[in-house]
Amino acid sequence: MILSIESSCDDSSIALTRLEDCQLVFHKKISQELDHAKYGGVVPELAARLHAEALPKILEETTPYLQEVKAVAVTTEPGLSVTLVEGLVMAKALCIALDVPLLPINHLHGHIYSLFLEQPAVFPLGVLLVSGGHTQLLHVKAHGNITCLATTMDDSFGESFDKVSKMLGLGYPGGPVVEKMAKQGDAKRFNFTVPLLRTPKLAFSYSGLKNQVRLAIEELGEKRDEQDTCDVCASFQATATAHLLNKLERAFKAHPFECFAVVGGASANLYLRTHLEKLVEKYRMPPLMVAPLVYCSDNAAMIGRCGVEAYKRGEFVGLDDVRVNPKVA
Binding residues: 107, 111, 129-133, 162, 175, 179, 269, 298
CB 169, CB 162: distance < 8 Å = no
Residue at 314: amino acid letter: G
Mark out the alpha helices in 199-321 (DSSP H runs): 207-220, 226-254, 270-282, 300-312
- Find, among 12, 93, 5, the residue nearest to 48 by Cα: 12
- Beta-carbon contacts of residue 138 (< 8 Å; ≥ 6 apart): 112, 126, 127, 128, 129, 146, 147, 148, 149
- Find, among 155, 160, 151, the residue nearest to 247 by Cα: 151
Given candidates 80, 102, 140, 266, which one binds ligand KG4 under the rule CB under 6 A? Answer: 266
**φ and ψ at residue 200, rounded to 5 degrees:** -70, -15
CB 74, CB 104: distance < 8 Å = yes
Q: Cα 159–296–241 angle (5° rounding)?
A: 50
Per-position x/- string for 116-155, each x denoting binding to Zn ion as judged by CB under 5 A, each - no binding: ---------------x------------------------
Terminal Cα-to-Cα distance of the chain (whole angstroms): 28
Spatial separation of the C-alpha atoms in residues 309 and 316, rounded to whole Å: 11
Spatial separation of the C-alpha atoms in residues 87 and 54, rounded to whole Å: 11
Given candidates 264, 276, 285, 303, which one binds ligand KG4 under the rule CB under 6 A? Answer: 264
Cβ proximity to ligand KG4: between 95 and 159 the closer is: 159
Choices 74-82, 96-104, 278-286, 293-301 (CB under 5 A): range interacting with Zn ion = 293-301
> Is 77 near ligand KG4 (CB under 6 A)?
no
> Is 179 near ligand KG4 (CB under 6 A)?
yes
Given candidates 87, 110, 158, 307, which one binds ligand KG4 under the rule CB under 6 A? Answer: 158
Given candidates 6, 77, 86, 159, which one binds ligand KG4 under the rule CB under 6 A? Answer: 159
> Is 10 near Zn ion (CB under 5 A)?
no
Beta carbons within 10 angstroms of residue 111's beta carbon? 30
**Structural element, H or E, at residue 13:** strand 11-17
> Is 304 near ligand KG4 (CB under 6 A)?
no
> Is 185 near ligand KG4 (CB under 6 A)?
no
**φ and ψ at residue 147, rounded to 5 degrees:** -110, 130
Cβ proximity to ligand KG4: between 17 and 160 the closer is: 160
Cβ proximity to ligand KG4: between 29 and 247 the closer is: 29
Shortest spacing between CB 303 and Zn ion, in angstroms: 10
CB 102, CB 317: distance < 8 Å = yes
Query: What, of ligand KG4, Zn ion, none, does residue 205 touch, CB below 5 to 8 Å by kind?
Result: none
Residue at 269: amino acid letter: N
Given candidates 12, 17, 131, 229, which one binds ligand KG4 under the rule CB under 6 A? Answer: 131
Cβ proximity to ligand KG4: between 71 and 298 the closer is: 298
Partners of 27 in the β-ladder: 15
Cβ proximity to Zn ion: between 161 and 252 the closer is: 161
| Residues placed in the known binding site for Fe cation | 107, 111, 298
User: How many residues touch ligand KG4 (CB under 6 A)?
Assistant: 20
Spatial separation of the C-alpha atoms in residues 39 and 27, rounded to whole Å: 28
> Is 298 near Zn ion (CB under 5 A)?
yes
Given candidates 110, 176, 185, 304, which one binds ligand KG4 under the rule CB under 6 A? Answer: 176
Shortest spacing between CB 310 and ligand KG4, in angstroms: 19
Shortest spacing between CB 131 and Zn ion, in angstroms: 4
Query: Where do contacts with Zn ion occur on this chain (CB under 5 A)?
Result: 131, 298
Query: Where do contacts with ligand KG4 occur on this chain (CB under 6 A)?
Result: 9, 131-133, 158-159, 161-162, 173-176, 179, 264-266, 268-269, 297-298
